[in-house]
Amino acid sequence: SQKIEQNSEALNIQEGKTATLTCNYTNYSPAYLQWYRQDPGRGPVFLLLIRENEKEKRKERLKVTFDTTLKQSLFHITASQPADSATYLCAWGGYSTLTFGKGTMLLVSP
């Protein structure tokens, strides 16, 4: 069965640096991957979606890539700020369902 893996539980970086989070999948390539941000005790908030046939998507300081050869999606936050500190979840979509990875907790220090 398909699995989504976010190998890093936590990532600490300094303000102003680029944060790079990884999402790997096993087996077949999903038609699309989504990235969400979740703050403690709150619901996830959608950030970006990338389709299998797209290499890269951007939104302001956010960038997502999709590499079907490596079976991997990378999520980048450039010029990171302490306000970017949160848990970031990647998700794989099936029919009527969305399956989430475990998430990576990002901490941006001033």
Partner 1 sequence: DTEVTQTPKHLVMGMTNKKSLKCEQHMGHRAMYWYKQKAKKPPELMFVYSYEKLSINESVPSRFSPECPNSSLLNLHLHALQPEDSALYLCASSQDGGPGANVLTFGAGSRLTVL
User: Where along the sequence are the contacts to partner 1 (CB under 8 A)?
Assistant: 31-32, 34, 36, 41-46, 49, 51, 89, 93, 95-103
Cα–Cα distance for residue pair 13/30, rounded to 1 Å: 30
Choose between 75 and 101: whose C-beta lies nearer to partner 1: 101
CB-CB contact of 21 with 75 (8 Å): yes
Query: Closest separation between CB of residue 32 and partner 1, Å?
Result: 5
In 3D space, the residue among 108, 107, 102, 109 whose CA is nearest the CA of residue 36 turns out to be 102
Choose between 41 and 110: whose C-beta lies nearer to partner 1: 41
Place of tokens 């991997």: 72
Choose between 32 and 107: whose C-beta lies nearer to partner 1: 32
Query: Closest separation between CB of residue 57 and partner 1, Å?
Result: 12
Query: Closest separation between CB of residue 100 and partner 1, Å?
Result: 4
Cα–Cα distance for residue pair 98/90, rounded to 1 Å: 10
